[in-house]
Copies of this chain bind each other. A is one copy, B any other.
Amino acid sequence: VNVAGVPHRTVRLDGDAVVMIDQKLLPWRFEHVVCRTAADTAEAIRDMTVRGAGAIGATGAFAAAQAVIEAARGDRFEAEVAETLAMIAATRPTAQNLFAGIDAVRAVIDADPRASVQRAIRAANAFADADADACRRIGEHGRSLFRDGMRISTHCNAGWLAFVDWGSALSPIYALHRAGARVFVWVDETRPRGQGARLTAWELAQEGVPHAVLTDGVVGGKMRAGEVDAVIVGADRIAANGDVANKVGTYALAVLAKHHGVPFYVAAPTTTIDGHCPTGAEIPIEHRSEDEVWRVTGPTDSGELRTVRVVSAGSPAMNPAFDVTPAELVTAILTETGVHAPSQLRG
C-alpha cells in the first residue's frame, strides 16, 4: 500500500540485506532499518522492530536466506545453516508464520552452497510474495462479510504493517473502502505496546478510513450501546481445532461479542494454521518483559522521543503477549481460500 503516495512493503530483501519499516518508531517517524546479517534480522524480530504474524514470517524467511548466504562463505555450510535457522526460530515463540517462513527456505537447501543460495533467495521472496497475495485475496473474500455503513471493531494491528502488504483483518476493510463502501473502525489502543493506537490508527489514516481509538476497556460499552456491528482480528497461530492465539485482549473481545450476538471474525493466511497443534492449549504463549507495562515511549510536544513510567514503582506486572480464543467463540475464519467455519479448518 501507499505511504504518502509511494508504494511500500513492510519488509523486503535487497541484495543480502533485509530492509524493513521500523515499527518501533511508527507513527512518530517513518524510517527503514537495514539488517545486514541474519543475526541483526533475528534481533529485529525479537525486539519488535518488525512485528505482526505475516511480517515476521517473511522476515524469518529473509533471515533464513541471509543465513544460507553467510554459511556459503564458510566451510561448515549445512551445520552453520542449521544453527542459524535455530537461532532465528528462537526469537519469538507464538506466531506460526515465523516457522513457516523459515521452513520455506529450509526446504530448498541441500549440500551445494552456491545453488542453495539461489534457491533460498527465490524461496524467501516467493514466501513474501505469497503472503502479500494471500492478504489481497483475504480482502476480496472478506468483503462478503460486511455491509455498507458497518461499524467494525479491531484489536492490535493486523493491517499491512503486520504482513508484507494489505494485512489480514484490515484487508477487507481496505477493499471495502476502496470500493466506495462506508466503513467505520473502532480501534482498540492495545496496551501495552499500543499497536492499535500507533499502527492501526496510522494505517487507517493513510488510507482515509474513518476510525476512532478506544482504550481497551471501552468497546464492551460500545457493544452494549449497539454501536459495534462486527469484530475482525488477526491471528498469530490457529490450532487444528480452530482455537486462535492472537494479541492479548482478543479473548475478552470475543467473549463480549458472544454476549452481544456480534459476529467475531478471524482473518489470517493459511500459513498461520498449525496442523501440529491440536488445540489452543498447546500453543506456546510468549511472556514479555514487565518493562513494556511499566513504561511507555512517545514523542513530547516538541517531537523528542521520551520514555516515561506509567505504573507505580515497586509493583510487579504480568505481560503475556497473547491469549487464546476458543473456536466456539469464533464466527468464521477468513483465509486466502475463503470464509470457513472454525470446525472446517482441516477440510
Contacts and interface: CB of A to CB of B under 8 A. Distances in A.
A299 interface: yes
A250 B216 CA distance: 11
Determine the main DSSP class of A at the interface with B: mixed
A324 B197 CA distance: 25
A239 B176 CA distance: 42
B252 A314 contact: no
Contacts of A299: 308-309
A308 B315 contact: no
Interface string A248-264: 11111001101100000
B252 A256 contact: yes
Contact of A316 (B211, B258, B306, B324): B211
Nearest to A310: B298
Interface string A286-327: 000000010111111100011111111111111110011000
State the copy count for this chain.
Answer: 2
Contacts of A213: 293, 311-312, 315-318
A202 B217 CA distance: 21
Interface string A230-254: 0000000000000000011111100
B317 A214 contact: yes
A284 interface: no
Question: Which 3 pairs, one residue from A and one from B, show the smallest C-beta to C-beta distance?
Answer: A217-B249, A220-B252, A298-B308
